[in-house]
């Protein structure tokens, strides 16, 4: 996801759920949906998104963000200016998959044993 673009959308729309919908469906559509139903709360807005793909996208991203907050003990999702101050997705945390991959990846450093073997073969 283009984080700078998403941060701009959060700034423009003032809420993460609106920015995500805009990122997926387009700014003009979200502006139209907002004008058709001003003052609607987040849950109702998401349920009323007319495109199933966009509705599922927003739910999935917000749900995943909430899962990570629960796992890592972060604060609730920022909205509006708070979101742009902390970055579009709040503090950056490594995903469990990325942490596992990093832990199982072979080290780029050669062990002292490997270095000694190489020297003994050469000389």
For every one of its 123 residues, what pLDDT tens digit does the chain have, with 9 covering 90 and above? 589 999 999 999 999 999 999 999 999 999 999 999 999 999 999 999 999 999 999 999 999 999 999 999 866 665 555 554 544 444 444 444 444 444 444 444 444 445 555 555 555
Compute how many other C-beta atoms are within 10 angstroms of the C-beta atom of residue 61: 20
Q: How far is CA 108 from CA 99, 114, 120, 121, in A?
A: 16, 12, 21, 21
Distance CA 113, CA 24 (A): 52
Axis-axis angle for helices 3-13, 16-25 (nearest 10): 120
Compute how many other C-beta atoms are within 10 angstroms of the C-beta atom of residue 24: 18
Domains of the chain, each with CATH number or no CATH: 3-96 (1.10.530.10)
Q: pLDDT value at position 38?
A: 94
Q: pLDDT value at position 12?
A: 96
């Amino acid at each position: 996801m283009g984080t700078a673009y998403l941060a701009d959308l959060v700034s423009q729309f003032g809420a993460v759920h609106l920015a995500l919908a805009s990122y997926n469906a387009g700014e003009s559509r979200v502006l139209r949906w907002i004008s058709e139903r001003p003052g609607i709360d987040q849950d109702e807005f998401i349920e009323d998104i007319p495109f199933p793909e966009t509705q599922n996208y927003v739910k999935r991203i917000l749900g995943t963000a909430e899962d990570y907050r629960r796992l890592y003990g972060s604060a609730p999702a920022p909205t509006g200016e708070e979101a742009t101050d902390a970055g579009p997705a709040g503090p950056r945390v490594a995903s469990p998959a990325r942490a596992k991959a990093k832990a199982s990846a072979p080290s780029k450093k050669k062990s002292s044993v490997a270095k000694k073997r190489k020297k003994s073969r050469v000389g």
